[in-house]
Amino acid sequence: MRLVTWNVNSIRLRLDGLRRINEEWRPDLVCLQETKVADPLFPREALAEMGFAHLAVLGQKGYNGVAIASRLPLDDVHSRSWCGRDDCRHLIATVGGIDVHCLYVPAGGDLPDPEVNDKFAHKLAFLEEVTAWFATVDPARPMVLMGDLNVAPLETDVWSHKQMLKVVSHTPVETGRLAALQASAGWIDAVRQFIPPEERLYTWWSYRAADWQASNRGRRLDHVWVSRPLAPRLASAQVVRQTRGWQPPSDHVPVIVDIRPI
């Protein structure tokens, strides 16, 4: 089973990119974040034409939104809300006996101080609530957590560890919260099973850079985690960096993970 996660930053703007990904990598299931479209306007027909006969969407106009597109049937589709907000960030479905969690963690704004930045306070509270909930889930279940988690946890997940320590997405409080989330259900970072933690790896480059490749000031914000029962079935992982140069680009690139059948 080939799994892809991609923050598309508007599904309607990125349809051609998704078609190209579909043609070149043939994923069985795609988790999308920041779809930025209300459910009635989601381009269902376009995804069906790509072969994704099964679709679950959770969206709203203009921002946020998640979706799961699959060639395989989706069972037990449902969503969860966090911090008392129905802001379309967590969609769940079972595919081939695997629980798939498509998650979009809040970005957190610019100032890493919850006392003066409500967005950062919300991000920390969101991570705390999700962690507490996953701690109640049976870790023996085959599960995948995929999405834009908006935290770059390792020193090699950012272009400069020292300079990023006070920048939202790589501050110690955020990486600590993400570590707690990973520990909550014994999650395994699927990508770092194949790309060593010592190797620099990014999935996001700012639109602000005049030349994103030359500056290469990236961050690894997009992740695929699996529960321990799936660890022996991991076959490969890759970050599709070249899509950052496609037009019109998302500031995120897709992450691909292959899981062997039982």
Please provide residue 95's backbone torsions phi and psi, each rounded to the nearest 5 degrees: -130, 115
Rounded Cα gap, residues 11 and 32, in angstroms: 8
Please provide residue 141's backbone torsions phi and psi, each rounded to the nearest 5 degrees: -75, 140
Task: Tell me if 168 sits within 8 A of 111, measured CB to CB.
Answer: yes
User: Model's pTM, two decimal places?
Assistant: 0.97
Q: All domains of the chain, ordered by start, with CATH? A: 2-259 (3.60.10.10)
pLDDT of residue 2: 98
Please provide residue 35's backbone torsions phi and psi, each rounded to the nearest 5 degrees: -70, -30
List the 98-104 sheet strands across, edge first: 75-79, 90-95, 98-104, 143-148, 222-226, 188-189
Question: For 91-150, how does the pLDDT look when each residue is reduced to its tens digit (9 = 90+)?
Answer: 999 999 999 999 999 999 999 999 999 999 999 999 999 999 999 999 999 999 999 999
pLDDT of residue 251: 98
246 Rama sector, left if φ>0, alpha if ψ -120 to 50, beta otherwise: beta
Which whole number is the average pLDDT over 221-246?
98
Cα 76 versus chain centre, distance: 20
